[in-house]
Amino acid sequence: MLDLIELGLFVTLLVVGFFAGSIVEKRHYASIRKREREYADVLAYAVRFPPDRVTRQRAFLVHGTVVISSDYFKTFVAGLRNLFGGRVRTYETLMERARREAMLRLKHDARRQGAKLVICVRFETTTISTGWAASIEVFAFGTALIPDQDSALSFPSRALAAA
């Protein structure tokens, strides 16, 4: 009888995890898409140097960090996938959401300080394991640039895109 109760609890947690996780993930993606449109004017690139090295600019570090946890269903499916090997697609969406969220927070930090251009953007990722739930932290950082007041530079986005 006790085994049947445990099995019922396990199946219930899987079903709740699937539906709750799907709802949370869809809401998060909708929020990310909305904010990506909002921060489209803040350009962020992995290039090391700005397009115009002659113009004097103020440079400062900006960052964004996020910790996202996996739901019970994704953790269970990933555990099964580990038994057989192959891509763990359930965690790929988790990583994508975390990277995009960290980038949005980086852009928010840049805009808050008056910058419209961030160069040398890098990501650091850390896995956090607490019992059955897998969580990841993504830390995005880069160098924000603001032209000095005496220079009339508008950053050419086409020059950076070609670099």
Residue 139 near residue 65 (C-beta atoms within 8 A): yes
**Residue pLDDT, tens place only, 47-73:** 888 776 667 788 999 999 999 888 777
Q: Is the model's pLDDT at 153 over the cut of 50?
A: no
Look at residue 109 and tell me whether its pLDDT is greater than 90.
yes
Beta bridge partners of 58: 146
DSSP string, 129-145: EETTEEEEEEEEEEEEE
Q: Which CATH architecture has domain 2-162?
A: 2-Layer Sandwich (3.30)
Residue with the larger pLDDT of the pair 154 and 103 = 103
Residue scoring higher pLDDT (25 or 52): 25
Statement: residue 32 has pLDDT above 80: yes
Confidence band of 131 (pLDDT split at 50, 70, 90)? low
For residues 93 and 29, is the Cβ–Cβ distance under 8 A? Answer: no
Lowest-pLDDT choice from 20-24, 87-91, 144-148, 150-154: 150-154
Question: What is the average pLDDT across 135-142?
Answer: 94
- 133: tokens are 């739930």
Lowest mean pLDDT of 73-82, 98-107, 121-130, name the range: 73-82
Q: What is the mean pLDDT of residues 30-55?
A: 87
